[in-house]
């Protein structure tokens, strides 16, 4: 089959200032991709290409022009029609250092061959028969704002809370976590933290020891990526289970993935399809991790509901899931209306509810 692609830039606006150790966000630029056959113009599939400025290796100031050129070239090619062949074809056509474009193209093509109904995988999640456990995310900010978020997540029924740390005073962050633990045991509420590389060799062990006293489940990326020796030491010492996140950026070949996992030996890895190369790349990471007894979970990267839907459906292809990082659909006041809903700490696809994507 041959398809035409239309790229539509869109700016998502946060309902609050979202703080991380890398800075704060009030908006997120993204690009929706519309695919169709000119002979059947009413049959339209949607995908999303959503790199993150300052983090994604493929983000550039002229990103839209690069994306446009790539998809225009692909419009002249014959595209396969089975899911496995599509994933392989995208890997062959899009260079590895454009991970968000790979994911967006995978998504829009899978949607098209599945009937243009936002169905990326025909599984129980899309059918509305299966829910996915997710964590409640606490963003950085003033102490009162973080406390409000914590109370709201607990009231909403989340039993796994993830808090971003490393931007404000650590003692304040520790006290917030301690306040949760004083009210809820580790059997009642699971606590995760995400440092986004905020610590260094001079303080990381002290921080991990302090956090371990609160029975924290895991810490994402305690130090900046690229320090494989120190990260391997921290994972081996076992002060606190460590999940690699930014460490996976730019690691594309199967050989390099094996080398990273076998060198660092992390307890967990975090997979963001838009960041690590899309669905097929994540499948490789999961296979390698499970062979080594390394846990994993999926996280969105501030995509709109279009990208989030694709990640959620892909995640639901796997069983016995840990709580996933897929609760970002409520971040924006101008997100696309979708069947995605959160109920008592679980993400579900409310099948009778429709999509509203219009420009």
Active-site annotation holder among 153, 162, 257, 272: 272
> Rounded to an integer, what distance in angstroms lies between the CA atom of residue 184 and that of residue 186?
7
> Rounded to an integer, what distance in angstroms lies between the CA atom of residue 50 and that of residue 275?
9
Q: Which of 317, 306, 264 is nearest to 108 (CA)?
A: 306
Residue 11 sits at φ, ψ, to 5 deg, of -110, 120
CA atoms within 13 A on the CB side of 17: 7
* 34 flagged as catalytic: no
Instruction: For 211-231, give the secondary structure using H, E and C.
Output: HHCCCCCEEECCECCCCHHHH
Q: Which of 56, 51, 107 is nearest to 250 (CA)?
A: 56
> Rounded to an integer, what distance in angstroms lies between the CA atom of residue 142 and that of residue 129?
39
* 53 flagged as catalytic: no
Active-site annotation holder among 153, 162, 164, 257: 164
Containing 181, the helix (H) or strand (E) segment is: helix 170-183
What positions carry a catalytic annotation? 164, 272
């Amino acid at each position: 089959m041959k398809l035409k692609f239309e790229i539509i830039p869109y700016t998502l606006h946060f309902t609050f200032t979202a703080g991380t150790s890398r800075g704060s966000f009030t908006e997120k630029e993204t690009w929706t991709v519309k695919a169709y056959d000119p002979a059947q113009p009413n049959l339209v599939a949607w995908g999303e290409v959503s790199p993150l400025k300052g983090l994604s290796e493929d983000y550039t100031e002229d990103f839209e022009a690069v994306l446009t050129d790539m998809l225009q070239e692909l419009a002249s090619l014959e595209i396969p029609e089975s899911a496995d062949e599509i994933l392989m074809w995208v890997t062959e056509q899009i260079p590895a250092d454009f991970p968000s474009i790979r994911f967006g193209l995978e998504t829009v093509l899978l949607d098209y061959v599945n009937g243009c109904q936002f169905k990326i995988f025909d599984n129980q999640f899309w059918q509305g028969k299966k829910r996915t456990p997710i964590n409640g995310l606490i963003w950085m900010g003033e102490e009162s704002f973080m406390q409000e978020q914590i109370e709201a997540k607990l009231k909403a029924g989340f039993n796994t809370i993830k808090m971003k740390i490393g931007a404000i005073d650590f003692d304040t962050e520790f006290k917030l976590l301690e306040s949760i633990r004083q009210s809820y045991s580790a059997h009642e509420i699971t606590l995760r933290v995400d440092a986004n590389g905020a610590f260094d060799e001079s303080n990381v062990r002290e921080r991990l020891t302090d956090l371990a006293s609160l029975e924290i489940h895991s810490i994402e990326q305690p130090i900046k990526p690229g320090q494989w020796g120190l990260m391997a030491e921290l994972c081996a010492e076992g002060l606190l289970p460590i999940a690699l996140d930014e460490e996976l950026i730019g690691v594309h070949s199967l050989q390099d993935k094996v080398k990273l996992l076998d060198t660092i030996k992390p307890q967990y890895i975090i997979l963001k399809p838009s960041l690590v190369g899309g669905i097929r790349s994540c499948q490789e990471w999961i296979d390698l991790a499970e062979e080594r007894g390394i846990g994993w979970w999926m996280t969105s990267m501030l995509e709109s509901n279009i990208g989030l839907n694709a990640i959620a459906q892909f995640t639901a292809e796997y069983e016995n899931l840990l709580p996933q990082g897929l609760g970002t659909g409520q971040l924006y006041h101008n997100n696309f209306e979708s069947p995605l809903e959160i109920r008592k700490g679980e993400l579900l696809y409310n099948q009778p509810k429709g999509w509203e994507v219009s420009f």
